[in-house]
Structure 1
Amino acid sequence: MDRLNANQYQNLHNTSHTYCRLISTGYHNLPVDVLVRIFQNLNENELRKTVMLVCRQWKLAATRPVLQKKFYIHGKNVPTNFICLRIRDFSYLSTIYIKQILEPIIVVRQITRWLPNLKHFTLKKCGTLPELALRNLIHRCPKIETFDIAGTRFKGCKFYEEIAGLVNLKNINLSRNTFMNIHNFMSILVNCHKLEELKITALQNDEVGGQLSDAHVLFIMSNCSNTLTALGLDASNLTDFSFKVVMQCSKLKYLRLHSARNLSPNVFSSIWENLPNLNTLTVREADQINGSIIADVFNLGKENLRNITSIDFTGCWKIDNVGIIAIANCCFKLERLKLKSCKSVKSLQPIKDNCRKLKILSIAFCINLDPLTILPLPEDLNTLILDKNARFLPILNALLENDRVKIKMCLSEYSKNTENLSYD
Structure 2
Amino acid sequence: MSYNTGKKESSPVSPLKKRRASWSELWVNHHHLLSSSPLDLAAKFQSLTPPISKSKTLLPDFTLLLPDLILIRVIQKIPNSQRKNLSLVCKRWFRLHGRLVRSFKVSDWEFLSSGRLISRFPNLETVDLVSGCLISQPNLGILVNHRIVSFTVGVGSYQSWSFFEENLLSVELVERGLKALAGGCSNLRKLVVTNTSELGLLNVAEECSRLQELELHKCSDSVLLGIGAFENLQILRLVGNVDGLYNSLVSDIGLMILAQGCKRLVKLELVGCEGGFDGIKEIGECCQMLEELTVCDNKMESGWLGGLRYCENLKTLKLVSCKKIDNDPDESLSCCCPALERLQLEKCQLRDKNTVKALFKMCEAAREIVFQDCWGLDNDIFSLAMAFGRVKLLYLEGCSLLTTSGLESVILHWHELEHLKVVSCKNIKDSEVSPSLSALFSALVELQWRPDTRSHLSSSLTGTGIGEKGGKFFKKT
Give me the TM-score of the superposition, normalised by structure 2.
0.47
Q: Does 1:33 align with 2:61?
A: no
Larger radius of gyration: 2
Aligned ranges for residues 72-83 of structure 1 at < 5 Å?
Answer: 72-73=105-106, 78-82=107-111
**Aligned partners of 1:240, 1:92: CA distance in 2, in Å?**
42
How many residue pairs get aligned? The number is 294
Equivalent-residue separation in structure 2 for 1:63 and 1:375 (angstroms): 51
1:7-406 maps to which residues of 2 (within 5 A)?
25-26=40-41, 31=66, 33-36=68-71, 38=73, 47-49=79-81, 60=93, 64-73=97-106, 78-82=107-111, 85-101=116-132, 102-103=134-135, 104=169, 105-106=173-174, 107-123=177-193, 126=194, 128-150=195-217, 152-153=218-219, 156=222, 159-176=223-240, 178-203=248-273, 212-232=275-295, 234-238=299-303, 241-246=306-311, 248-252=312-316, 254=318, 258=322, 259-261=324-326, 262=328, 275-277=340-342, 280-282=344-346, 284-289=348-353, 304-305=367-368, 311=372, 313=374, 317-320=375-378, 330-331=394-395, 351-352=423-424
Q: 1:275 to 1:95 in 2, by over 3 A?
A: same
Deviation for aligned residue 1:120? 0.4
Please say if residues 160 and 184 of structure 1, whose CA atoms lie closer than 8 Å, have aligned partners that are also in contact.
Answer: yes
Contact 1:131–1:154 (CA under 8 A) maintained in structure 2: no
Structure 1 residue 90: deviation in Å? 0.8
Q: 2:234 corresponds to which letter in structure 1?
A: K
- Distance change (3 Å), C-alpha of 1:50 and 1:230: farther
Q: Which whole-Å CA distance do the structure 2 matches of 1:48 and 1:61 have between them?
A: 14
Letter in 1 for 2:341: P
**Aligned letter for 2:216?**
I
Contact 1:250 1:277 in 2 (8 A): no
Q: Tell me, what secondary structure is at the counterpart of 2:285? A: helix
Sequence identity percentage: 14
Equivalent residue letter for 2:352 = Q
- Distance across 2 between alignment mates of 1:219 and 1:130: 23
Task: Work out the CA distance in 1 between the residues paired with 2:236 and 2:120.
Answer: 27
CA 1:228–1:198 in structure 2 vs 1: closer, same or farther (change >3 Å)? same
Letter of the structure 1 residue corresponding to residue 368 of structure 2: L
Contact 1:230 1:253 in 2 (8 A): yes
Give the conservation status (yes or no) of the 8 Å contact 1:129–1:154. Answer: no
**Per-residue CA distance 1:370-399 (angstroms, 9 max, x = gap):** xxx9889xxxxxxxxxxxxxxxxxxxxxxx
Q: For 1:39 and 1:252, how far apart are their aligned partners in 2?
A: 41
Secondary structure, in 3 states, of the residue corresponding to 2:99? helix
Residue 212 of structure 1 deviates from its aligned partner by 3.2
Change beyond 3 A, Cα 1:34–1:115: closer
Aligned to 2:52: none
Counterparts in 2 of 1:346 and 1:82: CA distance versus 1, 3 Å: farther
Q: Secondary structure at the match of 2:129?
A: strand
Whole-Å Cα distance in 2 between the matches of residues 52 and 32 of structure 1? 20
Paired AA for residue 182 in structure 2: T
**Which residue is equivalent to 1:3?**
none
Q: Give the aligned partner of residue 13 of structure 2.
A: none
- Give a deviation string over 1:60-82, Cα, whole Å, max 9, x none: 48952221111134xxxx43334
Task: Kindly state the Cα deviation for residue 285 of structure 1 after the two structures are TM-superposed.
Answer: 4.0
Question: Does the CA-based 8 Å contact 1:69-1:92 persist in structure 2?
Answer: yes
Aligned partners of 2:348 and 2:424: how far apart in 1? 23
Question: 2:229 is aligned with what amino acid?
Answer: G
Deviations 1:234-266 (A, max 9, x none): 5432255334445x5443264559431345899
Distance 1:190 1:256 in 2: 26
Between the aligned partners of 2:348 and 2:219, the Cα distance in structure 1 is: 23
Q: Within 2, Cα distance between the matches of 1:48 and 1:322?
A: 50
TM-superposition CA deviations, 1:185-213 (whole Å, max 9, x none)? 2122112220112233544xxxxxxx634
SS in 2 for 1:122: strand
CA pair 61-230 structure 1, distance change in 2 beyond 3 A: farther
In structure 2, the CA distance between the partners of 1:147 and 1:225, relative to structure 1 (3 Å rule), is same
Matched-pair contact (CA < 8 Å) for 1:260–1:283: no
| Counterpart contact for 1:163–1:188, Cα < 8 Å | yes
Per the alignment, residue 417 of structure 1 pairs with none
Structure 1 residues not aligned, in runs of 5+: 1-22, 204-210, 355-372, 377-424
TM-score, scaled to structure 1 = 0.52
CA-CA distance at 1:321 after TM superposition: 7.4
Determine the C-alpha separation between the residues in 1 that align with 2:206 and 2:235.
17
The alignment partner of 1:237 has SS state of: coil
Instruction: Look up the SS of the partner of 1:330 in the other structure.
Output: strand
